[in-house]
Chains A and B, each alone.
Chain A
């Protein structure tokens, strides 16, 4: 199992450009999440999807859109990138269960720089 995979690993954009960050998981998890982590800070939730076909806003959704394409894939789109969106983006997945109530599995991250 690959777990949670993210593409690309690195990306540099100019202000105003758009791009889509891809995330896929092969663990058959219902829930998927997108976080951003600024230098020296904790993770902040952008959007999450409790199940296929549903998405909800997190703490910092402005400037982003998401698509839960199917159970495996959850993409994050920046329509018009801004320097304030320079960050590391993590995707995570989770499947509720008694033993692993709050266990999320994280991808390796995408390091995005907006000039």
Chain B
């Protein structure tokens, strides 16, 4: 499974845009890039996934350059409720025979 590297922690203020970058140099051809969010005392929640270029949903955007060796999760205009741990995962679990690996994640603290 591709190893991922992301910052341990980030700080931001309400209303700012937050970009969290994840590097995954040995990503495989069939791998997708997936981001999860975890609040304290809860299980992780799927945010967004992508294969290449840009993906946007109601929560976030995911930017993936052509070489796919990194990706950036963008959270527009964060609020206090976005304080959470964000995990970048790379892999292909389509067959169900390979499970994704969660790293330590990025702890985002949003301040007023």
Instruction: Please tell me if the beta carbons of A92 and B46 are within 8 angstroms of each other in the complex.
Output: no
Main secondary structure of the interface of B (DSSP, over half): loop
Nearest neighbor of B36 in chain A, beta-carbon distance? A104
Which chain A residues have a beta carbon within 8 Å of chain B's beta carbons? 4, 30-31, 33, 35, 41-45, 48, 50-51, 56, 58-59, 90, 92, 94, 96, 100-109
Name B's A-contacting residues (CB within 8 A). 32, 34, 41-46, 49, 87, 89, 91-97, 99-105
- Partner of B102 from the list A4, A42, A94, A100 (CB cut-off 8 Å) is A42
When chains A and B are docked, how far (Å) is the Cα of A13 from the Cα of B24? Answer: 40
Contacts of B104 in A (CB 8 A): 41-42
Can you name the residue of chain A whose Cβ is closest to the Cβ of B107? Answer: A40
Say yes or no: A100-B46 contact (C-beta < 8 A), given A42-B105, A45-B99: yes
Which chain B positions have C-beta within 8 A of A42? 87, 102-105
Closest 5 CB pairs of A and B: A106-B43, A50-B96, A31-B96, A43-B102, A102-B34
